[in-house]
Amino acid sequence: MTRRLLLVNGPNLNLLGTREPDVYGTATLADVERLTADAAAEVGFEVRAIQSNHEGVLIDAIHAAREDCAAIVINPGGLTHTSVSLRDALTGVDLPFAEVHISDVYAREEFRHHSYLHDVAAVRVIGRGVQGYADAVRELVPLIP
């Protein structure tokens, strides 16, 4: 089995640690990628990380994961609430994936309550801050076939 995870962060998550600390905390994207890699290493996996503000780039990275990744950890950002195409990419590659949200989307605006991934994600981690990425790795890895 390939012992690699793909970590995907979607639009605007490159801004982590620079604005809205009350909502998203003070950790940067680099911190998130490091803590996710550390959690994966503890269970014998490595991580390839990508962040993009472009939906097609994210979809291409998900397609490429078919070749050499066993599962995907994804925070799709705002695309969570809008993108059928991202859902289709994730179901199309047939890899188990974890949907992560740093903030508690259910305690925020109504438009954040719907996720196009909610019924196809193997794991959902919501509102646990950036530690949620590490939790997602720990919950997802045992589900890899």
Active site residues: 24, 101
Q: Does 15 bind ligand CA2 (CB under 6 A)?
A: yes
With binding defined as CB under 6 A, does residue 30 bind ligand CA2? no
Q: Examine residue 24 and tell whether it contacts ligand CA2 (CB under 6 A).
A: yes
Burial of 29 (0-12, 13-18, 19+ CB in 10 A): middle
Q: How far is the CB of 76 from ligand CA2 (least distance, A)?
A: 7
Closest distance of CB 46 from ligand CA2, Å: 23
Within residues 72-101, the interface with ligand CA2 by CB under 6 A covers 75, 77-78, 80, 101
Least CB distance to ligand CA2 at residue 32 (A): 10
Q: Which is nearer to ligand CA2, 17 or 144 (CB)?
A: 17
Distance between first and last Cα of the chain? 9
Closest CA to 5 of 99, 141, 145: 141
Compute the distance between CA of residue 48 and CA of residue 17 in angstroms, rounded to an integer: 21
Angle at 120 between CA 119 and CA 126, to 5 degrees: 70
CB atoms within 10 A of CB 132: 23
How many positions of this chain bind ligand CA2 (CB under 6 A)?
16
Min dist CB 75 to ligand CA2, Å, is 5
Rounded Cα distance between 17 and 112, Å, is: 21
- Contact footprint for ligand CA2 (CB under 6 A): 12-13, 15-16, 19-20, 24, 75, 77-78, 80, 101-103, 105, 112
